[in-house]
Amino acid sequence: MLDIKQVRLDPQAIAGALSKKEYTFDVAEFEALDALRKQADINSQNLLAERKKASKQVGELIKSGIGVDDAKAQVNESLAKIETELEALKHQAKEANDALDHLLMAVPNLPADEVPAGKDEASNIEVLRWGEPRNFDFDAKDHVDVGENLGGLDFEVATKITGSRFAVMRGGLARMHRALIQLMLDTHTLEHGYQEVYVPYMVNAESLRGTGQLPKFEADLFKLQGDSGYYLIPTAEVPVTNLYRNTIVEPTELEQGLRFTCHTPCFRSEAGSYGRDTRGMIRQHQFEKVELVQFVRPSESDAALEALCGHAEAILQKLNLPYRKVILCGGDLGFSARKTYDLEVWLPGQSAYREISSCSNFGDFQARRMLARWRNPETGKPELLHTLNGSGLAVGRTLVAILENYQQADGSLSVPTVLQRYMGGITQLKVGEF
């Protein structure tokens, strides 16, 4: 959520900054609502002054010759009228404040100055490439054909069990999926200084408002029926970031580092994405992800983003998967993000780089919605934290990349060296072994 003081200071500048995100901020609506709120507050202050004055009039009325009972009755009548008017003004002020909150909750974060302009992913700028795509001496298949030929990937059965955009994995492929999770968690906890956490897979609406999924993106969520008001998580970002909702962190905690990694399933309705990536495991309703979340001082968040992105890159490098890093343009930037790097892995079956991780700096946008703060030792006062998160990595898409990059001419699949110790020393998955 944007700082309303900053918006009031120069709403036109805010509108200009948000235009980089292809978002139109309604300055007139904001100023009209803010004027209503301000006028209601002014009227309330005036009435409070009248009430204070009226309460002192009993003695003056008695001095003028009015009886005590009549004086009290007259003053009480005036006070009752003022109280009625005050209640009405309080209601008006609350309505105006609620309308302002509703407006600002739907306004995206401001992009960082260095974010490039552009309407969509075509304007994203490549920062680096790592690794060389493999030259195959046979026609490379996509992950669906490789996995089905091995007998370890089954979309037909998943459709029977549930519906489209789900997958069943068997045998060595299911084991490799599990091995990837273990590799990611071990790397981030043992090498990168993250603390592993286990969190609920269901969250309440307040948690989703805190990270920015609500109210704007409810159609992308799975909401449970009944009176619980719970939603299935679209990403571990939601429960992990909300660990510090309504919390004031002491400086010593920040010095130790608030870095968390978490493996969870993720559930997304993929509203509005029909017709895109319907084949295979690229875009599913249920998938696994190892998430990275950091809470830092505002002065440290830019450097923290570079470090966090490097932690996600380390997994791709361990697996020897070619990838590129791009900075997202304004039009492709997420709702809550002020700056995002996407990591895109090379998929020979598509002859294209495809997203496997997004690493974002949210500034104080989420922290303001959640009241996640730290105590500044110089002032002794609470200030908003900065939050960051990224996939380290999306497990299903990593498996897709291995299926396509490590496929062999005879239909078998080589096991990346770094995964072999997690798979009991297996070096190859062969057709017919499932």
Does the annotation flag 356 for ligand binding?
A: yes
Does the annotation flag 273 for ligand binding?
A: no
| Residue 416: φ, ψ to 5° | -50, 140
Does the annotation flag 412 for ligand binding?
A: no
Does the annotation flag 64 for ligand binding?
A: no
In single-letter form, the type of residue at position 346 comes to: W
Does the annotation flag 358 for ligand binding?
A: yes
Does the annotation flag 165 for ligand binding?
A: no
* SS3 label, residue 129: strand
Distances (CA, A) of 94 to 34, 44, 107, 213, 369: 12, 12, 20, 24, 18
Does the annotation flag 22 for ligand binding?
A: no
Does the annotation flag 158 for ligand binding?
A: no
DSSP letters of 344-357? EEEETTTTEEEEEE
Does the annotation flag 300 for ligand binding?
A: no
Does the annotation flag 391 for ligand binding?
A: yes
User: Dihedral, CA atoms, 123, 124, 125, 130, nearest 10 degrees?
Assistant: -140
Cα separation, 256 vs 332, whole angstroms? 34
CA 355 to chain centre: 16
Does the annotation flag 270 for ligand binding?
A: yes
Take residue 432 and report the two structure tokens written for it.
Answer: 């017919």
- Report which of 86, 1, 92, 96 is spatially closest to residue 46, judged by C-alpha positions: 86
Take residue 430 and report the two structure tokens written for it.
Answer: 């062969």
Looking at residue 335, the DSSP 8-state letter turns out to be: S
In single-letter form, the type of residue at position 72 comes to: K
Sign of CA dihedral 206, 210, 211, 214: positive
Cα separation, 302 vs 387, whole angstroms? 11
Does the annotation flag 344 for ligand binding?
A: no
Annotated binding site for ATP: 268-270, 355-358
Annotated binding site for L-serine: 235-237, 291, 391
Annotated binding site: 235-237, 268-270, 291, 355-358, 391
